[in-house]
Amino acid sequence: MTVTLTSMSHTFPDDIDILLVGPGGQNVILMSDAGGSADINNVTLTFDDDAPTFLPDNTQIVSGTFKPTNFGGADVFPAPAPLPPYGSLLNVFNGTNPNGTWSLFVVDDLSGDSGSIAGGWSLTITTTCP
C-alpha cells in the first residue's frame, strides 16, 4: 500500500501531524514533526514502507517517496480521530479488508502557520492472489 499527498504546502512543516485510519480502525502516522521550519510549496509526498528513506527531521522537505516518519512520538489527535497507540508502518493494513471508509486526519500542532493539501490524497492498494 502507498499513500500520496498531492500539492502539499505549509509555512512550518514541522508542525504537521498526519494520521491515516483504515475501515477496521487500523492506523498509521504518515508524518509528524518532520521537515523543520523551511516552507514547503506544492510538494507531493508518497508514503511507502519500502521507500529508501524517511522524511528529513530538520531540513527541507521535497517531493518524493518516503517511509512513514514520526519524530517525537507523543502525538494525540483530536476527536473524531482514534486515541493512541498509533502504528508506524503501512503494513498494519496488510491482510485487512480495504472496503469501507478511510480517513485522513491532519493537524497543525502549533498555531500561527497555515497549509493545504491542494491536490488531495490517494491510496494505492496492491493485492496478491494465491
Instruction: State yes or no: cis peptide before 80, omega within 30 of 0.
Output: yes
Residue 130 domain-assigned? Answer: no
Mean pLDDT across the stretch 79-98? 95
Residue 29 domain-assigned? Answer: yes
Query: What is the pTM assigned to this prediction?
Result: 0.95
Residue 129 domain-assigned? Answer: no
Residue 70 domain-assigned? Answer: yes
Please report, as a single letter, which amino acid is at residue 54.
F
Number of domains the chain contains = 1
Q: How far apart are CA 49 and CA 89, in angstroms?
A: 6
Asked if the model's pLDDT at residue 130 lies above 70, the reply is no
Residue 105 domain-assigned? Answer: yes
Q: Give the domain CATH number at 88.
A: 2.60.120
Instruction: State yes or no: cis peptide before 85, omega within 30 of 0.
Output: yes
Residue 65 belongs to domain spanning: 2-124
Contact 14, 110 (CB under 8 A): no
Which pairing describes strands 2-10 and 40-48: parallel, antiparallel, or unpaired? antiparallel
Q: What is the pLDDT of residue 72?
A: 82
Mean pLDDT across the stretch 98-106? 97
pLDDT > 70: what percent of the chain? 98
Mean of pLDDT over the chain: 94
Give 23's Cβ-side CA count (13 Å radius). 9
Give 31-82 pLDDT, tens digit per residue: 999 999 999 999 999 999 999 999 999 999 999 999 999 998 788 899 999 9
